[in-house]
Structure 1
Amino acid sequence: MHIIKLQTSDGEIIETDIQIAKCSGIIKTMLEDCGMEDDENVILSMVNSTILKKTLEWAEYHKADAQPPKDDESKEKRTDYINPWDANFIDVDEDTVFQLIAAANALDINGLFELSCKRAAILISGKTREEIRNMSSLINH
């Protein structure tokens, strides 16, 4: 098992298996195409340690899954179905959901992005404009 060190925006260094980290298209590109060495810290200034740990938890569970292309328009993408593990994983507060969306987008983790967006859609369903506007302030913190 090869280990990689990921440095978060709050300065924490998190070690993880390189194959798990490669669930991120950005990290995979940095390692494979940009000549970055495995022993270098990968600086992830766009994500804090709490959200990165949550992201890595998702990646650990889904490491064997094939990652769909970002522009995949399959019917599966449009379904409301969320498997039980993912449903439990994403059952978090609104702030965490929006931070996961931002992290998954920045790190290019399509499956986590889709899951987080599905959860956000559930959270805003039935809310008034004002309630959604108040939620959107979470995105800009």
Structure 2
Amino acid sequence: MIQIQEPVVLYKIRSIDRQRFLIDRPTVAMIGRLDEFFMNAGLDLIPADDLNAVQLEVSAPVLRKVIEWCDHHKFDPPHDEARAGTGDMSEWDTNFFMVRHSVLFEIIRAARDYDIPGLFAMCCQIVGQNPEVVMAGLLDDDDDDAVGGVFRMRVQQNAPAA
């Protein structure tokens, strides 16, 4: 029996500092708010090539790390909060989290703001705090006037060439 693979569709996302990234649909699905945005806006029904990049309010280095983690874990079972923080981390995850503290806390913020529960739980495990304590230490989006809110995404369909 010949197995036919579906073509990989890549979506464009852009960091706050305008660096572009290409991610596949299973990776988009790992980023809860981005996945919800795609479904609610009907972007899954529009060919990916016809879409401009969706901008996320995250710096390129942090977005690169978030995408790397999501891509690595995209076929894992869904995150289970009851088991969060239990067990050992894989060698890959241990190496992934060997970053400066400032980068780790930006990853935590992105995981919280963009609803990536597995990444958020692992970050909490790394810093040795439960998720409630970590969330209490982060500013609410309403208080973050300097950035104007972390969750802001923009997308538009490319206009047909005239």
TM-score by length of 2: 0.66
How far the C-alpha of 1:35 sits from its partner, in A, is 1.8
How far the C-alpha of 1:67 sits from its partner, in A, is 2.3
How far the C-alpha of 1:90 sits from its partner, in A, is 0.8
Deviates more, 1:13-22 or 1:93-102: 13-22
Mapping 1:33-112, distance limit 5 Å: 33-36=40-43, 37=46, 38=48, 39-45=51-57, 47-68=58-79, 72=81, 74=82, 76-79=83-86, 81-112=88-119
- Give every structure 1 segment of 4 or more consecutive aligned residues whose post-TM-superposition deviation is greater than 6 Å: none
Letter in 1 for 2:10: I
Match of 2:84, SS state, is helix
Q: Which runs of 5+ in 1 are unaligned?
A: 123-135
CA RMSD of aligned residues (A): 2.2
How far the C-alpha of 1:80 sits from its partner, in A, is 5.4
Residue matched to 2:26: 19
How far the C-alpha of 1:81 sits from its partner, in A, is 2.3
Alignment check: 8 A CA contact 2:85 2:125 kept: no
| Same amino acid, percent of matched pairs | 26
Alignment check: 8 A CA contact 1:67 1:110 kept: no
Alignment check: 8 A CA contact 1:23 1:59 kept: yes
Residue matched to 1:125: none
Q: Which runs of 5+ in 2 are unaligned?
A: 1-7, 130-137, 139-143, 147-162
Matched, 1:119 2:126: yes
Match of 2:21, SS state, is strand
Letter in 2 for 1:8: S
Match of 1:113, SS state, is helix
In structure 1, which of residues 27, 31, 37 is the aligned counterpart of residue 38 of structure 2? Answer: 31
Match of 2:41, SS state, is coil
Distance 1:78 1:118 in 2: 5
TM-score by length of 1: 0.75
